[in-house]
Structure 1
Amino acid sequence: MPRAFTPKVVTANDLLEGDVVYLTADDRWTRHLAEAELLSDEAHAALRLIEAEKQGNIVVGAYLADMKPGAHGPEPTHFREDFRRTGPSNYFHGKQEQARA
């Protein structure tokens, strides 16, 4: 028996900078998970992923990540996605550097 579809966001890595990015409802890539489009329909999610995969000149490694609705937008349901949204763990740069400022 197939598992029930759970909400997802389309995520990838920025091709030039490597940052984690999320697809928004208005077809932009953002570095802020709160701005990501939360997809609750399986067919629509599959179409959004196909659209993202066609943007190989902007992003790499697009996939659907499990999320849940939160007070300030999508929230990760898995440790991996929670970890990815904070940026690289080896030293402060990108999102982590901005958070320190």
Structure 2
Amino acid sequence: LNQTLIKNQDMMRRKVKEIEERKTLSLKSKDEQILDLEEQIRDLKVYIGAQKTLDKMNDEDGVKGGTLLPVPLEQSTSARKSKKPSRRRK
């Protein structure tokens, strides 16, 4: 009887561990999906803002019908800190 209870307990522990792993994978997948959707929203906001700006502008600059190029990503603050300090004159 004791052996059966120990086996059942081990089996239940494995099932709980398996369920927790599936939950973790599911949460990770959802987080990645949320990040992707947030990025898409940001891109749409930029696109709509650019469209509004172009609609307000005159075509004197020859901007309408032109090509938009992506803006390079900003450097993170940690990347900025790694630069050499500038020397100042005294």
TM range (shorter): under 0.3
Structure holding more helix per residue: 2
TM-score by length of 2: 0.23
Higher relative contact order (CA 8 A, sep 6+): 1
> Considering only CA atoms, is the larger Rg found in Structure 1 or Structure 2?
2
TM-score by length of 1: 0.22
Structure holding more strand per residue: 1
